Amino acid sequence: MNTTLAVLIIYLGILAGLAIWSRRETHTLSGYYLAGKKLPFWVVAFSTNATGESGWLLLGLSGMGYLVGTQAYWVVVGEIVGIGLSWWIVSRRLKAFGDKTDSITVPDVLSAKFEDKWHLIRGVAVLIILVMVTTYVTAQMVATGKAFDNFLGWEYETGVIVGAVFIIAYTFVGGYKAVSYTDVVQGVLMLLGLIAVPLAAIIATGGLGEVRASLAQQDPALLDMFAFGSTPAWIGIASFLAIGLPFLGVPQLLIRYMSARDDGEIRKARIMSMIVLFIFTFGAVTAGVAGRALYPGLDDPEAIFPVISSNLFPPIIAGMLLVVVLSAIMSTVDSLLLLASSSAVRDTYQKIMGSEESDERLSNYGKLITIVIGVLAVVLGVQEPRVIFHFVLASWSGLGSAFGPAVIGILYYSRITWYGVLSGVLGGFTVNVIWLVWFKANYHGLYEAIPGFIAGLVLTFGVSALTSKKAA
């Protein structure tokens, strides 16, 4: 048997074991979607990072490092600032608010303060989540196909299907607890891989001096963090920094805070999370930059991590590095499947449609919805492959722009109103999409999260101020 394949089979066996161990928590909605809100800090920290990064980290971000060189380090700065703000501004207040209001989902949080007989806030939030999660998961399926193609030589479509089957299966069986504990395993593997691969590439090139010399010969701009070509440097830097902005609002991360055992666990988790995320992002960009020096001229920059892994390591280590890539993908897809499932079952069927069925029956419906959404993403993923970096960023910014400003308003503004939350969610998302589709190309690629998030903040606070005065 191929050594790489053998390592993969052992890894998938470990995930299956964790899913079976976790299944006793899946008989209630809170258990299936939040592991009963009992997770320790180290699980919350690793789960937050592993979920937030996905195949975008190992394939997309390393590919961006390969493509633009040291400019990609601005993404590292942006992500560290973004996750730091999320932990310090949002996490503890959201945990307390979620416990007080018995919230399980982010739409629960958004609508908890208001009498909303038409369920408009919840309905709009669910629609945005389902659309964005479908595109997000599809991008991860693309990453799965690329990983199997580069490591094992499988057909792209076969890789998508095989990867999806295992992700859907352990999410179906074990729910959020299985997802969170597998995130720890996957996060540790990602951490090791993102230390080993860039180091191997630098050593194989002959050291940092040789890396710099090779890049200077190919294109001196690769060594200049301020060289954005025809794009004004401030726009390029702002766009890369703003990649960290959606950390304040993407629902798949916010529910990590809600799942913590208590406030003390969150305090401990945030330091660990920031250290690990720095290693993740810095390692990914460095792998791409050093890989450009070692393997110039790749047709697909997003293949650089698998290329380094396959060429510089023995088969058993290459197998483990395939597992690292799949870990990054799986740790995000499973969380997104649960997010979409909770939106369909908890927010739509139980809250909007008013179902009074038992928690156990509803959790079973959630498991079935997990399968349906996973299959839909596979169908979309086996189509023509897309560029993972930009495809994920579009989904990431859409979720962050929709929910970040509204969540901040809920947690910090005492005069927040139903009108402010609804307009902030709708406006942030709409401006984000409009900018992406019609304006981004004409404004040097300014990242859509910037106008989207600003619009969401202005509308959330501005409309709340106007309508609270009117109500008074």
DSSP per residue, 279-343: HHHHHHHHHHHHHHHHSTT-S-GGGHHHHHHHHHS-HHHHHHHHHHHHHHHHHHHHHHHHHHHHI
> Which pLDDT band holds residue 146 (cuts at 50, 70, 90)?
confident
User: How far from the centroid of its chain's Cα atoms is residue 219's Cα?
Assistant: 32
pLDDT (mean) for 55-79: 91
DSSP per residue, 247-265: GGT-HHHHHHHHTBSSHHH
Q: According to the model, what pLDDT value does residue 331 have?
A: 67
One-letter amino acid at 403 equals: F
> Which pLDDT band holds residue 203 (cuts at 50, 70, 90)?
very high
> Which pLDDT band holds residue 389 (cuts at 50, 70, 90)?
low
pLDDT higher for 4 or 432?
432
First to last CA, the chain: 73
pLDDT higher for 161 or 2?
161
What integer best gives the mean pLDDT of the chain? Answer: 86
Position 110 pLDDT exceeds 90 = yes
Q: According to the model, what pLDDT value does residue 310 have?
A: 87
pLDDT (mean) for 134-140: 79
Residue 55 contacts residue 282 (beta carbons within 8 Å): no
pLDDT (mean) for 155-167: 81
> Which pLDDT band holds residue 294 (cuts at 50, 70, 90)?
very high
The span from the CA of 240 to the CA of 211, in Å, is 23
The span from the CA of 181 to the CA of 187, in Å, is 10
* Degrees, nearest 5: CA angle 142-147-153: 115
- Measuring CA to CA, which residue among 76, 136, 57 is closest to residue 324? 57
Q: According to the model, what pLDDT value does residue 148 have?
A: 80
Position 393 pLDDT exceeds 80 = no
Q: Which helix (H) or strand (E) holds 61?
A: none
Q: According to the model, what pLDDT value does residue 14 have?
A: 77
Tell which phi-psi region holds residue 224, choosing left (phi > 0), alpha (psi between -120 and 50) or beta: beta
Position 60 pLDDT exceeds 80 = yes
The span from the CA of 102 to the CA of 108, in Å, is 8
Position 445 pLDDT exceeds 90 = no
pLDDT (mean) for 377-406: 78
The span from the CA of 53 to the CA of 48, in Å, is 9
pLDDT (mean) for 196-203: 96
Position 17 pLDDT exceeds 90 = no
> Which pLDDT band holds residue 240 (cuts at 50, 70, 90)?
very high
Among 7-16, 185-194, 394-403, the least confident range = 7-16
Q: According to the model, what pLDDT value does residue 173 have?
A: 67
Position 417 pLDDT exceeds 70 = yes
Among 68-77, 389-398, 442-451, the least confident range = 389-398
Q: According to the model, what pLDDT value does residue 472 have?
A: 42
Q: Which helix (H) or strand (E) holds 457?
A: helix 449-471
**Radius of gyration of the chain from Cα atoms?**
22
pLDDT higher for 351 or 388?
351
Delimit the domains of the chain by residue range: 3-381
Q: According to the model, what pLDDT value does residue 217 have?
A: 95
Residue 367 contacts residue 338 (beta carbons within 8 Å): no
**Residue at token pair 């790749």:** 298
Looking at residue 2, what DSSP letter applies? -
Which SS3 state, helix, strand or coil, does residue 39 take? strand
pLDDT higher for 140 or 383?
140
> Is the domain defined by 3-381 classed in CATH 1.20.1730.10?
yes
Position 183 pLDDT exceeds 90 = no
- Residue 134's Cβ-side half-sphere holds a number of Cα atoms within 13 Å equal to 14
Among 89-98, 190-199, 325-334, 363-372, the least confident range = 325-334
Q: According to the model, what pLDDT value does residue 19 have?
A: 67
